[in-house]
Amino acid sequence: MSENGFDLPAKATRDVMDRREVLADRTCEALLQAGLPACRGSSQGGPGATVQVDPLADGGVLVEWSTQEKLATAAVNLLERGVDPSNLPHTIRHYETVQTCMRDAILQILASAGFRAERAEAHTYGSAVHVRGFNL
């Protein structure tokens, strides 16, 4: 327990983090080879795949897709104004479709390249892809 009276999530060991860094580099390389814009880090500042290493013990390598800012901002602005969830505006449906299609494409591309990847836990990581390792 921490000094604040609650447990903090356990961090991954240095060895695990080193292996995740290698996996993240290879993941990014595989996406670039497939022709997708991809970068390592917390934000690439533009559309494409961002490959990150989560330092928590149960974390791992995560790939998130970003649309152009104009589409993402339009969807967020609509959500902030409030929408009827049973009748979402076209912009929000389009944004969600793009996110789903790109997540599924990334999953298939990484599987074809020899990676073990799956949908990340949605509550924690949204529409990210969780890369677990290599099949080869």
Name the pLDDT band for 1 (thresholds 50, 70, 90).
very low
User: How many CB atoms neighbour CB 62 within 10 A?
Assistant: 21
User: What tokens does 45 get?
Assistant: 């500042």
- Tell me the range of 3-12, 43-52, 87-96 where mean pLDDT is highest: 87-96
Quick check: is 19 in a domain? yes
Helix (H) or strand (E) holding 133: strand 129-134
User: What tokens does 32 get?
Assistant: 């670039």
Question: Looking at residue 46, what is its pLDDT?
Answer: 81
Question: Looking at residue 97, what is its pLDDT?
Answer: 96
Tell me what the mean pLDDT of segment 55-79 comes to. 92
Name the pLDDT band for 5 (thresholds 50, 70, 90).
low
DSSP state of 1: -
Please tell me the total count of domains within the chain: 1
Q: Does the structure show a pLDDT above 60 at 3?
A: no
Tell me what the mean pLDDT of segment 44-60 comes to. 86
Q: Which of 31, 87, 88, 22 shows the shortest CA–CA distance to 64?
A: 31
Quick check: is 108 in a domain? yes
Domain that holds residue 58: 14-69+104-134
Quick check: is 76 in a domain? no
Question: Looking at residue 43, what is its pLDDT?
Answer: 58
